[in-house]
Amino acid sequence: MADIATREAYGRALVDLGREYDFYVLSADLADSVKVDYFRNAYPERYVECGIAEENMIGVAAGIASTGTPAFASSYAMFTAGRAYEQIRNSVAYPNLPVIIGASHAGVSVGEDGATHQCCEDIALMRVIPGMTVFSPCDAIEATQVTKAALLAGSPVYIRLSRPASPAVNTDSYVFEPGKGVVLCDGDDVAIFATGLMVWQALEARRLLAERGISAAVINIHTIKPIDSALIERYAARVKQLFTVEEHSVIGGLGSAVCEVLCATHPARLTMIGINDRFGLSGTSSGLLSYFGLTASSIADKISASLES
C-alpha cells in the first residue's frame, strides 16, 4: 500500500461517510491543505467556507451541531487548538455538542512553515477540556476509521492529523476500537507507547533494538483521551522500563497521560521521548524529525542509553 497522509485519509473518509450520514464540513480557507476540498466538491450544499477565522468557524460548527446535526471543523492544529481554544471550550465542549475538530499539520513534521505553524501543544490543550475525546491515528487505515468513530460519538472529538505521508502500520482487516491501545508487537524488556507518526518509527526502533538484544513491545495509543489505563498497567507490571514516543511536547501529551496512570495505580520507570520544552524550526519534515530525535535510530539509541543508566 502506498504511503498516505492521515489528513488525506480524513478527507476521503468524509466523502464516503457523506453518502450515508447527514453532517456538515467547515473550513477556514484551508480546504485544499486539510483535504476537505473533496467533500466541498462532492457535497457543496453541506460545506461551509468560513475564511481565515477559526474562532468563527468553531462558533458556526457549534450552531449547526446545536440542531442535532454533527459538524466537522477543519484547519491546522495550530489554528484550531491554539487560536480557537476558547470557542472549543465554551461553545463546543461546555454544551457537549457533536463537533469534530479535524486538526491537520500537527507537530514539527509540518516542515518549512516553521515554529509558528508547528503545533506541539495541542494534545495538552485538548485533553484537559472536560468531555473532549482525543484521537491521534497512526496511518491512513486508522484515520479512516477514526473519522467514522468521531462522527458517531455524538460528543466533542479532536482528531490530530499529519501533513506528510506515512507508511501503513495496519492492514485492511484492522478494526479501530476507541479507547483501546493496540499491541503491535510484544516484548519482554521494554514497552514503547507511541502515537501518530511515531508509531511507525517505534516499530523500526524495535527492529534496531532487537539487533542489540533488547526485546521491545510496541503499543499504538491512538486514543490519548480516554487512555487505555489497563493496558499501561499491564506492561508496567511486566517489563523493566516504559517509554513514550510522540511528536508533541513531553509536557502535557502522551507521556504525561501515561505518567498520570502510573502514579495513580502502578508506579514504574518511564522515559518520555518527544519535543523537550522548545519551539520548532523551519526545515524538511524528515530533517526536523531527525533534528528533534524522533527517528527510529534516535529512539533506539535513547532506549538503549536509558537501560544502561
Q: Grid coordinates representing 60?
A: 458556526
Query: How would you classify residue 175: left for phi > 0, otherwise alpha for psi between -120 and 50, otherwise beta?
Result: beta
Is 49 noted as a catalytic residue in this protein? Answer: no
Q: Grid coordinates representing 110?
A: 509540518
Rounded to an integer, what distance in angstroms lies between the CA atom of residue 250 and that of residue 195?
13
How is residue 117 annotated by DSSP? T
Catalytic residue among 8, 54, 121, 247: 54
130 burial via Cβ count (<10 Å: 0-12, 13-18, 19+): exposed
Paired strand residues for 134: 158, 225
Per DSSP (E only), the strands in 79-212 are 99-104, 133-135, 157-160, 182-185, 190-194
In sequence order, the 6+-apart residues with CB closer than 8 A to the CB of 274 are: 120, 244, 245, 246, 247, 248, 249, 250, 253, 254, 255, 294
Catalytic (active-site) positions: 54
